[in-house]
Structure 1
Amino acid sequence: MAHDLSRRAVLAAGGALALSAAAGVPASASAIWQSRLVRYDRWGRLAYEQDAEGNRIPDFSHAGYRNGERPIPHVPVVKTIRPIEGDNTAHVQAALDEVAALPRARRGALLLLPGVYPVAGTLYVRASGTVLRGSGDGEDPAGNTIIKATGNNPKDRDVIVAGGAAGGGWTGEVPGTRTDITTDFVQVGAREFAVADPGSLRPGDNIVITHPCTEEWLKAIDYGGHDVGPPWKVGEHPLIYNRYVREVSGNVVKIDVPVFNHLDRALSPSFLYKWDRAGLVTQVGVERLRVDIEYHGDPEQDEDHAYNAIVLLRTEDSWVRDCTMLHFTQAGVATQETTRATVENCRAVDPVSIVTGSRRYNFNTYVYSQQVLFRDCYAYKARHAFVSNGHSTVSGVVFLRGTSEYALNSSEGHRRWSQGLLFDGHKDVDPHYDYTLGLYNRGRYGTSHGWSAAHSVAWNCDVSTSRLIVQKPPTAQNYAIGCHGTITGDGPFAQPAGYIEGANQPGLLPPSLYQAQLLDRLRP
């Protein structure tokens, strides 16, 4: 049920009313309403309500570069090059390696002057503190930097990889640091719990929390929630969180970012360990360039070309901003083994591929992607424009003010218990599919995707010419609050409806949940 907002509460909310006006919400107090589950209290702070199972909307505000607490830096240029004739792969890579060879404190941006840079291989931004920067992402080479990805050797390659090499997740356990979490029920959204032995833990330690995928947990979630296809198996989908220790007090550990699922010892004995951070690359970015992948033939058939345009791989505090990516098979920007990243003001358009599975995921969070913020990005002709495609190791991902045009399928949690996804101000334009946003059960689709999202939120989204499907997973909840269009629990596979509030009702306060949560967290 919506709650009326008094003038005192509006004023106390630290400019929330001004934010609502900026977002196009009517400014009159009588038109403004708040969700029952997240609302401003009498002191202007956000207050949360939980249901009988302990489900509540978590704090998503830690997504993005440096957990959203600092802006993306403008890194000074330390080297500048212009294009040469022929394949530029070695030419650009040599310049990147020259920057990487500098002492850490002296690294910075490699600036690519305007022009077309044919690239037949992959460009690697390997060293911490290095940025690949173009001169603009427009189509005119006179004033912009165009990476022209040519050929398909090796087959299905990535054009630009910022970060390290795939390392199998965060499995590098520092010996002697593993300890059990002894709190019986760590609620979704919680940031502290007791452990058996805190002796090796110190503030600032990078830890990995694991909730094993046990028979008991699988039974509680109906083995993924599908009647046809193989059920999920023990060990396949542990819940894993990459976190920092903030405080240790006795046996109680406080972490920097909340967990996005209940850690229930009755279903699975969770534990943590200190991560060795092997192969991790930090403070890398790709900026202000255009990746145009060369193709030949039918754009809905040809796949003889590069697969992904830009990939953030095994990074922390990384970014992609002000870039345009065209003609990829799968993703314009993809993340993997990446935390605290921002993808900002980017356009992933005109994918070239067969219109089928594993293709046209224009902005794609793959395995071990957490605290990733996509802000003000645009997708065109996607199957899954903004998507979590990395199962139970993906959480804390925010899609803020994303626009998907001519969608051929839905933006969504895609498979196998992705958690803590926030679609905030998402908009679909001229969709070409029945539903274009989904926090739901995908049943036998794909590799028995089943419950594709849990503890996830669609907030103030506009799917007015299609449908938003929100369904309730066992032991968890999904939410659609203040969204416009047909908001329903009626999906391709029958499951209970999720929490739906204020459908097609203008004036939701705050208009952006992510921004409100960030302001609330950073207020003294």
Structure 2
Amino acid sequence: MSTLEANSAHAIGRWQSRLARVNSRGRLVYQADASGNQIPDFSHAGYRGGGQEPPELPTVATIRPVDGDNTAHLQAALDAVGVRPKDANGHRGALLLEAGTYRVAGTVRLRHSGVVIRGVGDDEDPATNTVIRATGDTPTHRDVLVVGSGANTQWRGEKPNTRTNVTSDLVNVGQREFDVADGSKFRQGDNVILVHPCTAEWLQAVDGGATGIDEPWSVGSQPITYNRFVTDVDGNHVTVDAPVFNHLDRSLAQTTIHTWDRASLVTESGVENLRIHIEFAGDPDVDEAHAWVAVRLRGLEDGWVRGCTFRHFAKAGVETNETTRVTVSDCRALDPASIITGGLRYNFNTEGFSQHILFQDCYATKARHAFISNGTSGASGIVFLRGTSAGSLASSEGHRRWSQGMLFDNHREVAPAVQITLGLYNRGDYGTGHGWATVHSVAWNCDLAGRTLVVQRPPTGQNYAIGCRGIVTGDGPFDHPTGHIEGANRPGLTPGSLYEAQLAARLRG
């Protein structure tokens, strides 16, 4: 934004946050508080770390539905594409599912890198669209489609003799550089894991999670973990590709770094242009004897889900685990079928070790938590961009145990059925000692349809609500200090999208 444009913006009532603003040279600048808290850069969320659209892979095989159960039919076709040679970009090609109804009584696994499962459309008419119809409940509460290795590694596999200590006394939220004890262990391009242990000292600093009447968090229960790539090594000074979303304070815990072996990881795979319809019997607010998750991304890096519709899941339309740098765009997660209670109706859900996930232009209905991080201290860098929740039955939110760096950017509520519709706050003894549910998270330019956004300040950190419309307050279910609130119900916030402004600034260099 030029000086002239800035003056023009001011003249028509536009305004900027004092914490993240575009200066007269067109650069995005940040202001930290006295504790070093600042709005972090969320622009690394999405496919290949943000700024790249997922590719259009060529169709290399085409199938039609068969009579009866199509589980084995789909699996064999996907596996056949999965043994094709990769091209220079790591792509094998797309399996095209022609229009029709594919009845699936089991779980289909897209377990090879560089493979896409693609339909011809996601509307409900099987004459012109691809409809995967999930039947039965065997195994009980199953996933319909799993993309990725499906492994549960928690990124623990490390290359021998690569672990060393981070020796910087303090790495503030938003920083990408730090000193280590032995920089010779790393090279540019290494995939590294940083672990900030959950020590007694750190737990004391965060008041044991402030879990209300529940037991406080225990030592070792909530390690903060980051999956990153080394971009530069200068002696013992290391730079990684994306910032940390929590202060790494050496006086509270000794952070370590090691090179990850990337065991079982699937890359460059996705789901496109299809519908998953889950059958259920009886009352949609009672029946749970059916598939619970339409698409699970687990053990995946640089993947995508786009142009899809998911209906009648019990838990999630899309759920991520051990997944990084993924874009979920233009998807609909509609009409869950389950009792309305904890653990269910998380329409777009990020679980443990989910990082740099972008949900863009997605739509949810009848959710308890439409857009949510349920991944505790291993989940961070989650962006919900222009998400819409219709008929919310509970709030979109950071859900439990110190998930970090969430951005709700232009989130919109339509006809919510509850008062609190967005939460960056403490959940106390809700669930199982949820306590501080998120930290260093931002609600930017959100529309709560006249309902409530709760933003509270955790110990050692901060949360932010900037330019949001509705009742914006620090008064939540549990009494804690109010977070940073700025420009509530004031039109004209610029930039209109924080994620898009951060991405543009980073790509300009």
Q: Same fold (TM over 0.5)?
A: yes
Specify the alignment match of 2:134 in structure 1.
149
Specify the alignment match of 1:163 in structure 2.
148
Could you tell me which of 23, 48, 72 is aligned with 1:41? Answer: 23
Specify the alignment match of 2:35 in structure 1.
53
Q: Does 1:83 align with 2:65?
A: yes
Q: Deviation of residue 107 (structure 1)?
A: 1.5
Q: Does 1:249 align with 2:231?
A: no
Tell me whether 215-224 or 98-107 shows the greater mean CA deviation: 98-107
Query: 2:136 is paired with a residue of what secondary structure?
Result: coil
Could you tell me which of 3, 8, 12 is aligned with 1:30? Answer: 12
Q: Does 1:209 align with 2:194?
A: yes
Distance in 2, matches of 1:29 and 1:235, equals 53
Query: Are the aligned partners of 1:431 and 1:465 in contact in 2 as well (CA < 8 Å)?
Result: no
Amino acid at match of 2:231: R
Specify the alignment match of 1:491 in structure 2.
476
Specify the alignment match of 1:8 in structure 2.
4
Query: 1:447 is paired with a residue of what secondary structure?
Result: coil
Distance in 2, matches of 1:156 and 1:56, equals 41
Query: Are the aligned partners of 1:307 and 1:329 in contact in 2 as well (CA < 8 Å)?
Result: yes
Amino acid at match of 2:409: D
Taking only aligned residues, the RMSD between alpha carbons, in angstroms, comes to: 1.2
Q: Deviation of residue 250 (structure 1)?
A: 1.3
Residues 41-63 of structure 1 show CA distances to partners (whole Å, capped at 9, x for unaligned) of 12110110011111000000000
Amino acid at match of 2:155: W
Gaps of at least 5 residues in structure 1 are 12-16, 18-26
Residues 242-280 of structure 1 show CA distances to partners (whole Å, capped at 9, x for unaligned) of 000000011100000000000000100101000000000
Amino acid at match of 1:32: R
Specify the alignment match of 1:96 in structure 2.
78
Specify the alignment match of 2:325 in structure 1.
340
Specify the alignment match of 1:265 in structure 2.
250
Distance in 2, matches of 1:198 and 1:10, equals 44
Distance in 1, matches of 2:93 and 2:2, equals 50
Specify the alignment match of 2:355 in structure 1.
370
Could you tell me which of 163, 180, 183 is aligned with 1:195? Answer: 180
Query: Are the aligned partners of 1:167 and 1:279 in contact in 2 as well (CA < 8 Å)?
Result: no
Query: Are the aligned partners of 2:425 and 2:457 in contact in 1 as well (CA < 8 Å)?
Result: yes
Matches within 5 A, 1:42-441: 42-105=24-87, 107-441=92-426
Amino acid at match of 1:473: P
Specify the alignment match of 2:440 in structure 1.
455
Distance in 1, matches of 2:399 and 2:11, equals 38
Distance in 2, matches of 1:181 and 1:453, equals 24
Distance in 2, matches of 1:95 and 1:241, equals 35
Query: Are the aligned partners of 1:6 and 1:29 in contact in 2 as well (CA < 8 Å)?
Result: no
Distance in 1, matches of 2:225 and 2:74, equals 37
Query: 1:514 is paired with a residue of what secondary structure?
Result: helix
Q: Deviation of residue 487 (structure 1)?
A: 0.1
Q: Deviation of residue 227 (structure 1)?
A: 2.8
Distance in 2, matches of 1:462 and 1:29, equals 24
Query: 1:90 is paired with a residue of what secondary structure?
Result: helix
Q: Deviation of residue 7 (structure 1)?
A: 4.2
Q: Deviation of residue 6 (structure 1)?
A: 7.8
Amino acid at match of 1:428: E
Residues 340-368 of structure 1 show CA distances to partners (whole Å, capped at 9, x for unaligned) of 00000000000000000000000000000
Distance in 2, matches of 1:28 and 1:226, equals 44
Gaps of at least 5 residues in structure 2 are none
Distance in 1, matches of 2:447 and 2:66, equals 46
Query: 2:72 is paired with a residue of what secondary structure?
Result: helix
Query: Are the aligned partners of 2:298 and 2:322 in contact in 1 as well (CA < 8 Å)?
Result: yes
Q: How many residues align?
A: 506
Q: Deviation of residue 226 (structure 1)?
A: 2.4
Distance in 2, matches of 1:167 and 1:231, equals 26
Could you tell me which of 487, 504, 507 is aligned with 1:519? Answer: 504
Q: Deviation of residue 123 (structure 1)?
A: 0.7
Distance in 2, matches of 1:9 and 1:38, equals 17
Query: Are the aligned partners of 2:415 and 2:449 in contact in 1 as well (CA < 8 Å)?
Result: no
Percent of aligned pairs sharing the same letter: 60
Change (3 A) 1:87 1:493: same
Query: Are the aligned partners of 2:368 and 2:392 in contact in 1 as well (CA < 8 Å)?
Result: yes
Distance in 2, matches of 1:195 and 1:385, equals 40
Distance in 1, matches of 2:432 and 2:293, equals 21
Amino acid at match of 2:67: E
Specify the alignment match of 1:22 in structure 2.
none
Query: 1:342 is paired with a residue of what secondary structure?
Result: strand
Distance in 1, matches of 2:451 and 2:170, equals 39
Distance in 1, matches of 2:275 and 2:439, equals 35
Task: Give TM-score scaled by structure 1 length.
Answer: 0.95
Change (3 A) 1:29 1:142: farther
Q: Deviation of residue 203 (structure 1)?
A: 0.2
Distance in 1, matches of 2:195 and 2:356, equals 17
Residues 360-397 of structure 1 show CA distances to partners (whole Å, capped at 9, x for unaligned) of 00000000000000000000000000000010000000
Distance in 2, matches of 1:431 and 1:42, equals 40
Query: Are the aligned partners of 2:3 and 2:24 in contact in 1 as well (CA < 8 Å)?
Result: no
Query: Are the aligned partners of 1:462 and 1:485 in contact in 2 as well (CA < 8 Å)?
Result: yes
Query: Are the aligned partners of 1:190 and 1:259 in contact in 2 as well (CA < 8 Å)?
Result: yes
Task: Give TM-score scaled by structure 2 length.
Answer: 0.98
Q: Deviation of residue 103 (structure 1)?
A: 1.4
Query: Are the aligned partners of 1:410 and 1:435 in contact in 2 as well (CA < 8 Å)?
Result: yes
Query: Are the aligned partners of 1:380 and 1:406 in contact in 2 as well (CA < 8 Å)?
Result: yes
Q: Deviation of residue 28 (structure 1)?
A: 7.0
Amino acid at match of 1:177: T
Distance in 1, matches of 2:154 and 2:119, equals 30
Amino acid at match of 1:133: R
